[in-house]
Structure 1
Amino acid sequence: MMKYRADIDGLRALAVIPVLFYHVGVPGFGGGFVGVDIFFVISGYLICGMIDADIRSGSFSLGNFYKRRVLRILPALFVMFLVTSVLAYLYCLPVELEDYSKSLASAVGSVSNVYFAATAGYFDAPAETKPLLHTWSLAVEEQFYLITPLLMLCAYRVLSKRIRLLFAIATVLSFAAAFAISFRNATFVFYLTPFRAWELTLGALLSIGFIPAPRTEFGKNACGTTGLLLLLGVVVFGSSSAPLLLMTSLAAIGAALVIASSEQGTSAAGRLLSLRPIVFIGLISYSLYLWHWPLIVFQRTDGLFFPDSSSAATKLTLIAASVGIACLSWKFVEMPFRSKVRATSKAVVFGIASTAMASVVALCGFVLIEGGAPFRFPERVVAIGAYLAYDPSAAFRSGHCYLATNRQQLDVETCLKLNGKRPNYLLVGDSHAAHLWFGLSSAMPQVNIMQATASACRPAVQPVSLLDTRACPRLMKFVFDDFLVHNKVDKILLSASWKDEDIPVLSGTLDTLRSRGFDVTVLGPIVEYDAALPRLLVEEMLRNSPSIASDSRTPGIRERDRALRRIVTAKGATYLSVYDAVCRNDRCDEFAEGDIPLQFDAGHLTAKGSVEVGRRLSAFFAGKLARADDVSN
């Protein structure tokens, strides 16, 4: 039996507080999300250490192990599910409630990490609207708890003298797989257990003695101090834009160093983490992790506490509410159930747990059958809110002319087919180019508009990939160094969700294309919002506040639009302001027609929105085409 270590509870506090502050938006915690990685190392250390000790002493029972895990995890988790489900029923729109029900069913089945990995598409609702997104890390741990004792039992029977080596091999293989897949699918690396297992097995390597712990006072203090400084450095100076594996590696190594420093007697870092206030936060850390995220989501999407989610008062309220509810959950849910480990039989525990899980899944199925219970809202709210589940694939020509993933290939025959009887325009860029194709093609049937677009792909002769994607440079190289070398087009249209850092790259691209004799038109950025436009429009109606959408516009786009115009025209190219096509006199159109929103998320056009914007932009091209016809005649 492993002895209790107060410093590990203190380390839990160092894991959960950065996560809480990062999610709330407290400045100075840019890398706070790595708290989850600290939890993984702690879990691997404690669980594998306990299993190892019990197997060696001959006292390990698989049934008792799972019973302890059920009583430790499920009671507090299901209370959170109950309250969050009530809030979801009250606040979530039908399409959101359907998504919530699917995530709840997957969380109950300990596979929410798989669900979120499978549904984390480019156009999905942002993380701020998913109340159970945080359960992905619980699913990783639960899958680890399910598999690890079985593997350890088998390993001790077959290769008892190689158990440490097997854990070391598993750690290396998991990390190597994460590194390899990170270049193809960073989402899978973030969510899926095979690519997170190395963090848990790193903790296991400590507990089973594969990694030696320092014994001298100097060694322990140096180890602990280094680990603490490493963790604090990652939390304070880290960023979600940094490579994921770099962040997780630094956090996991830091956590392992802190744990190792007090293996052979408490180090200075261990004594610091053993202070009673820090230990108490560690004791409530599980409940604090469970409750903080749903509160944050419902505050951001529905103003649970205050209308303004960004105010200091709101942030303080969220922190206080999270800690307060966590204290209640720990005292009245966690502790009573944990005390029943010896007194309650396995049959009772597993029977009640199975019944509760089956009931929740059945309830989720009922919600899906009912279409998200639309009767809770007025018909107009339901109609507009339905666009939160809008599928742009057909209008974007996804998988053919718009490459959403690295695995997709451009359909050259469909997307880049020249027409000898009509002017040929080539539209190149990211999803903000793809969402214009349908509207431009509809508004200008006399023009053959070809399309070469990819996710997060700025149109550049020397492409700079902003995300872990290989589709962009591959596509840009083909378009600029192959297709345009061997084919003549009448006009190149460059469009993207332009950012300030794109300006130098765009400038160089214009120089290159103009030197090759191409007629280039740059389409500027469109108005964007801090949240999905349909959600904002619905909130305007539900709260009777008509300025919510306009107050939520992403700042700086109009100024960037003006700066791009100056640069593009100075390079001798043509500039078209998409922003001006949508916004006039500081008022931006929010509906394409009737109750159809112009945009279905924070910035991308619906098909009707694309047609309307395309119609407005086509007026510019109409004059050029008329002059071209006069010349040809």
Structure 2
Amino acid sequence: MKYRADIDGLRALAVLPVLFYHAGVPGFPGGFVGVDIFFVISGYLICGMIDGDIRDGSFSLARFYKRRILRILPALFLMFLVTSALAYLYCLPVELEDYSKSLASAAGSVSNVYFAATAGYFDAPAETEPLLHTWSLGVEEQFYLIVPLLMLLAWRVAPKRAGLLFAAAAALSFAAAFAISYRNTTFVFYLTPFRAWELALGALLSIKFIPAPRTEFSKNLCGGIGMLLVLGAIFLGSSSAPLLLMTSLASIGATLIIASSERGTSAVGKWLSLRPVVFVGLISYSLYLWHWPLIVFQRTGGLLAGSSGALTKLTLIAVSIGIAWLSWKFVEMPFRSKARDTSAGVVFGIASTAMTSVAALCGLALMASGAPFRFPERVVAIASYLAYDPSLTFRSGHCYLATNRQQLDVQTCMKLDVKRPNYLLVGDSHAAHLWFGLSSAMPEVNLMQATASACRPAVERTSLLDSRACPRLMQFVFNDFLVNHRVDKILLAASWKDEDIPGLSDTLETLVSRGLDVVVLGPIVEYDGALPRLLADEILRDSPSIASAMRTPGIAKRDRVLRRTVTAKGATYLSVYDSVCRDGRCDEFAEGDIPLQFDAGHLTAEGSVEVGRRLAPFFGGKLARADDVSN
């Protein structure tokens, strides 16, 4: 295909927002859509190249895969090498085991499948996964594996309808993504079948199924609309917006931008062809590879100690660009130049050896249980809670619905007891983590449980397509169970956010008007990182204030606002925050070296027992009203 500088410029428009978004630079709330722009570019270039070679009879699968290997793997495996060294230095045993699994999957081009399968609610947060960004490479590599075979088949079976077949595949992919987004957004985000339509947009443009504008006016209009869509998604978007809306804006915008310069460069194409913009586009692959591990290890290991937040971000961006240029200049370009002179057999052999070696090293790390000998015993003991499994104390799969596929076990979780007071605990995981402690501290009470992941205790309006567990559960609790059964108290608990307060207020009005005795349990202290990791860092860095400095701001203030809101509605408020935090200090251990919380906010079993013991006195006799409970 003919080289187009504007496409390299579009790569810059894709990678810079991703870099700024990940680095935490303000003003790029939708910067993550840069990945979608990359998908469209890849679909356009790869399918255009294959289409051209098939048409002139020069296409070779061996040559195609050889070029893809030389284009992708050298820089990727260099990043693997450096990142693995940093992981050995900084990652705690549990983290090194997780890293090894992600490394093996990334080397095998299936990291998107790995992260989709392991992206549970209680798994390590994204900012602690050095290879999380390789999920998009997994999507592209799987696309590279399948699409040449599909194109060969299409051109041999139905050459005149190849474009129509690809359009049908794109429509099917988008429809599947739309349907599954109501049930599992994680799969829609990570898995190739639900991302294929983005790559197909570029492919349909390259094989001329999507027509390109011809006149100057139409070219500039096309490019202008495309740029507005892309910039709108980047600067006005949000990670809380519907995923398909964000990906559609970016993908359609990128397609329009590319199309605008198909028949001569448009005004937008000329701007994207400026040398500084093209330069960033040329190093975009290496920049994408290197920026995320540097950001992760800065957050978890403090690569740049002693610098301010703004200076740290600027330094990380500058270092990422510098390393990307070195990688492009001395790794990418030399290997790409060897595409003609190196046989496919040699390339495949070296690539297979490298992948096998990576898999073997990952296996050794797993066999060594993450090499705990690197750290003091107390650090290893505390860090082991990073792999804590709360399913037993949360009663996952029965009384706590962790996925949309699970159903509440009504006979186990909501069975009334004629001999004891019946309390019903309703809410999200921050309600589920209280059940074990409250039920242990109050054996005289039958504490029932109806909880689900990310589920605020309020009735939501749902559509027929909505198969999420939370709306179904809340509809059952509020409009069925509580209408037909009498409970002594209903306990509402959640990881409350400011935006939840209006909905909570409406729910309280409804419940109190029914004559129900309602208790709202407020939010607990949370951290901008997993508490066991922060506690381990305190020991390793001899800095006892790391955890306290990483408390999520605003929770104490929200706790007070919730108290006023709840009591004004005639319900009772209990401050979980005050049970843990006093005089500016929050308890971090439940007992000994057992952390109170196993991640950024959820209680361990011992932590739940301790918090339950502190809250239980307020349930004795007639439950104290909020204004009778000390702050």
Question: SS of the counterpart of 1:553?
Answer: coil
Aligned 1:135-534 pairs, distance under 5 A: 135-307=134-306, 311-462=309-460, 470-534=468-532
2:535 paired residue number: 537
1:629 paired residue number: none
Unaligned runs of 5+ residues in structure 2 are 625-631
Q: 2:531·2:595 contact (CA, 8 Å) conserved in 1?
A: yes
Structure 2 letter corresponding to 1:385: A
Question: SS of the counterpart of 1:142?
Answer: helix
TM-score by length of 1: 0.97
Structure 2 letter corresponding to 1:290: L
Runs of 4+ in 1 over 4 A off after TM superposition: 461-465
1:36 paired residue number: 35
Shift of 1:556: 1.0
Confirm or deny that 1:60 pairs with 2:52.
no
Change (3 A) 1:463 1:388: farther
Q: Which is worse superposed, 571-580 or 318-327?
A: 571-580
Question: SS of the counterpart of 2:187?
Answer: helix
TM-score by length of 2: 0.97
Structure 1 letter corresponding to 2:518: V
Shift of 1:461: 4.2
Structure 2 letter corresponding to 1:421: K
Q: 1:463·1:476 contact (CA, 8 Å) conserved in 2?
A: no
Question: SS of the counterpart of 1:134?
Answer: helix
Question: Which of 555, 575, 593 is the matching residue for 2:553?
Answer: 555
1:622 paired residue number: 620
Aligned length: 622
Cα distance in 1 for partners of 2:566, 2:238 equals 32
Shift of 1:570: 2.1
Question: SS of the counterpart of 2:551?
Answer: coil
Cα distance in 1 for partners of 2:519, 2:453 equals 20
1:78 paired residue number: 77
Cα distance in 1 for partners of 2:459, 2:520 equals 14
Q: 1:262·1:270 contact (CA, 8 Å) conserved in 2?
A: yes
Q: Which is worse superposed, 469-478 or 171-180?
A: 469-478
CA RMSD of aligned residues (A): 1.3
Q: Which is worse superposed, 499-508 or 359-368?
A: 499-508
2:101 paired residue number: 102
Q: Deviations over 1:5-63 (max 9, x none)?
A: 11111110110011101110111111111100000000000000000000110000000
Question: SS of the counterpart of 1:425?
Answer: strand
Report the identity percentage: 82
Q: Deviations over 1:462-488 (max 9, x none)?
A: 5799xx862112111111111112211
Shift of 1:137: 0.3
Question: SS of the counterpart of 1:357?
Answer: helix
Question: SS of the counterpart of 1:612?
Answer: helix
Q: 2:398·2:408 contact (CA, 8 Å) conserved in 1?
A: yes
Cα distance in 1 for partners of 2:381, 2:211 equals 62
Change (3 A) 1:307 1:469: farther
Q: Deviations over 1:165-192 (max 9, x none)?
A: 1111111111111111101100000000
Q: 1:533·1:549 contact (CA, 8 Å) conserved in 2?
A: yes
Question: SS of the counterpart of 1:408?
Answer: coil
Q: 1:385·1:535 contact (CA, 8 Å) conserved in 2?
A: yes
Cα distance in 1 for partners of 2:208, 2:87 equals 46
Q: 2:459·2:471 contact (CA, 8 Å) conserved in 1?
A: no
Question: SS of the counterpart of 1:616?
Answer: helix
Cα distance in 2 for partners of 1:242, 1:484 equals 33
Q: Deviations over 1:92-142 (max 9, x none)?
A: 000000000000000000000000000001111111000000000000000
Cα distance in 2 for partners of 1:203, 1:464 equals 35
Change (3 A) 1:98 1:553: same
Q: 1:460·1:509 contact (CA, 8 Å) conserved in 2?
A: yes
Structure 2 letter corresponding to 1:58: G
Question: Which of 594, 598, 611 is the matching residue for 1:613?
Answer: 611
